[in-house]
Each structure stands twice: as C-alpha cells, then as structure tokens.
Amino acid sequence: MDNRIVRKSDLYRIFWRSFCLQAVWNFERMQNLGFLYTLAPVLNKLYPEKEQRIQSYKRHLEFFNTHPYFANALAGIVARLEEEMAKGGEVKPEEITTVKMSMGGAFGGIGDSLFWASWRPFTALLACVLVIIYLKEWEGAWLAPLFFLLLYNFLHFHIRIKGVIEGYERKTKVVRLLKKMRYTSTISSSHLIGSGLVLLAVTVIFLRQWEAMKSLLFLALFLSIVFLRRLRISSAKLVYLLVGICCAVAYIF
C-alpha cells in the first residue's frame, strides 16, 4: 500500500481543479478539457517522461461527459487506474476509456435526477417559501438564500470530496457510496416534502391576503395551472399569458 505515487494532497488538488470542469465545455467533446485539466497534476506526477505524458494527455482529450459533481468520483477512479498502469500493472488504456464512458453515462443520469431535478429545486423552494412566509413580519428574511446555499452545498461538497477520495480508494466500487446515501429515497422524499411545502405556502397566502374575491382568484389561478400541466406550457409563456389576460380583463372592465 505504501508504494503509492498519488498522495492525498494530489487528490485535494483534483478537488480544487474540478470546479473548472466545464470551463471549456464544447459541443464536440463536451467536458474533455475540463477533465484533463482536473487530472493534469496526477498525470504530470505519474509520467515523468515527456513522451508518455503526451500520450496520457492525448488519451484524456477524448470525449467525456457526466454530471459535474460526480466527475470527481471518476477522476478518483481514473487517477488510481492511471497509477496502476504507470507502475506497470495490467491495466490497459482502453480499459480506462471504457470506465470513463460507461460510468460517466450512469453518473450523469443519477446526478441529473438527484441534483438538478430534486435537491436543487427542493432547497430553492424551501428558501422561497421562507421568503414568502416571513418577508412581512421578520427582518431576517435575507437569511433564507444563505440557508439555501448552505443546505444545497452540504450535499454538493460531500459528493465532490468523498467522490475523489472514495473513487481513488475503491475504484469502481465507489457506487456503494451512492447506496449508502440512499439517493432514491432522497429524491422521492424531496418531491413529497416539496409538494407539501407548496401547499403550505398557498394556504398561508390564501388565508392572509387581500379581500375574499382576490384570494379566490389567487387559488383559481394556482389550481388551473396545476390542472393544465399536461399542456406543458413553458414558464415564460405562462407569465406572458397571465399578463395578457390581466391586461385584457382590465381593458374590458
């Protein structure tokens, strides 16, 4: 175990560099350059010979795409595989490419549904509901965005740091990390609690706002959009529709 070339400090360098993963995102090979940039310190250390180093750089210039947070787990895995290969192990370059492709796709799907479609909307909604409920009575409503950032990034940084370290330690078995996080139940419970929060906010506004007529209109608009979900009207169009209808009504009466 002690003949490792990659030290913990190198893994932390991967972690810091991983924030630039999508800096040169392009339609042709997507995150390839970002991934190479993330991995560069490790490659430089593993391949002191220039020719080998050039070859390793070229390998990682190939197509790569995954969820930006989970790229760290892959960077950890690839760092380990590259190290084994540099030390003359039986790992082949093609094997590294295959791992990058297959796990990149899988992590991409998981990350999209966990972070983009669940955790971020949920934490953002929590902050919005706090703002809606407390804006009038409480001076500290500005803490809500801060709370959002802390709560969201808790899971985000956890994935980034754990991803590199566990990916390096356990290679492809890093998937267990996800199992331990119970990400499916995180997704479903955030959806459930999210819907509940929306209903809570609607009730609060309904009970305290304006005269009865306008409260009813508020509720009617909410329900009609909820029931019109199947039409899949984009958010921007809904806003323009609302403005148009309101202006037309104001013009007629």
Partner 1 sequence: MIAEILLVSFIGGLLSLDVSAWGQIMVSRPIVCGPLIGFLLGDLKTGLIIGALLELIWINVISVGAAIPPDVTIVAVACTTLIVLTERTLQPVSNFQSSYRMAILALTMPLGKIFGIADVKQRKLNAHFVHYLDREVTKGNLGAVGKVNYLSIFLFFLKGFLFSLIAITVGVYVLPKLFAYLPYDILAGLDFAYRLLPALGLAIAFNTFRGL
Q: Strands, DSSP E only, in the chain?
A: none
Q: Which residues pair with 30 in a beta bridge?
A: 26, 64
CB of 75 to partner 1, least distance (A): 15
CB of 215 to partner 1, least distance (A): 10
- Indicate the residue among 132 and 171 with the shorter CB distance to partner 1: 132
- Indicate the residue among 99 and 132 with the shorter CB distance to partner 1: 132
Burial 127-159 (b: 16+ CB within 10 A, else e): bbbbbbbeeeeeeebeebeeebeebbeebbeeb
Task: Write the interaction track for partner 1 spanning residues 49-68; mark x where CB under 8 A is met and - where it is not.
Answer: -x--xx--xx--x---x--x
The closest alpha carbon to 92, from 138, 126, 55, 143, belongs to 55
CB of 58 to partner 1, least distance (A): 6
DSSP secondary structure string for all residues of 219-245: HHHHHHHHHGGGG---HHHHHHHHHHH
The closest alpha carbon to 82, from 35, 135, 131, belongs to 35
Map the footprint of partner 1 across residues 74-133, applying CB under 8 A: 108, 112-113, 116-118, 120-122, 124-125, 127-128, 131-132
Q: Binding segment for partner 1 among 4-12, 73-81, 89-97, 185-193 (CB under 8 A)?
A: 185-193
- Indicate the residue among 1 and 252 with the shorter CB distance to partner 1: 252
Q: Residue 238, interface with partner 1 (CB under 8 A)?
A: yes
Please tell me the distance from the alpha carbon of residue 237 to that of residue 243, in angstroms, as a whole number: 10
Task: Write the interaction track for partner 1 spanning residues 6-35; mark x where CB under 8 A is met and - where it is not.
Answer: -------------xx-xxxxxxxxx-xxx-
